[in-house]
Amino acid sequence: MTPSAILESALYVTDLDAAENFYSGVLGLDLLGKADGRHLFFRCGDGVLLIFNAEATKVPPAPDARLKVPPHGAVGDGHLCFAASADEILRWKAHLEEKKIAIESEFEWPQGGRSIYIRDPSGNSIEFAEPRIWGI
């Protein structure tokens, strides 16, 4: 058995309001759901981006909880890469500069393809890259 795709990707943040403004207001992702103080869920293509309050997800579910999702989390700055064509990367760069979001790094990969990197409000590394950097 081999998984066919990644359905969800998760990042952990310190400020859900700032994350909601960034991921919906700057990146334009559609909000699917939220629980105050705990999480935000966004649609991204065929998948879902989960944004969690890092401290809230460390708490185990109550014994009588309807959804017994195990505790989880991460320490330090996370990383997520959005797929983008070469033309889309140019448009993202202009859009991000217009929104006063600093481009932290920008380069061509030796195997071909371009990436740009920014930071979200919690310091997570967010990349936009051509899928061909992975031969896709």
Rounded-to-integer distance, Cα 98 and Cα 3, Å: 38
| pLDDT the model gives residue 3 | 86
Residues 31-71: pLDDT tens digits?
Answer: 999 999 999 999 999 999 999 999 999 989 889 989 898 98
CB-count burial class (<10 Å; 0-12, 13-18, 19+) for 45: exposed
Rounded-to-integer distance, Cα 105 and Cα 125, Å: 10
Cβ neighbours for 69, distance < 8 A, ≥ 6 positions apart: 61
| pLDDT the model gives residue 83 | 96
Residues 97-123: pLDDT tens digits?
Answer: 999 999 999 999 999 999 999 999 999
pTM of the model: 0.93
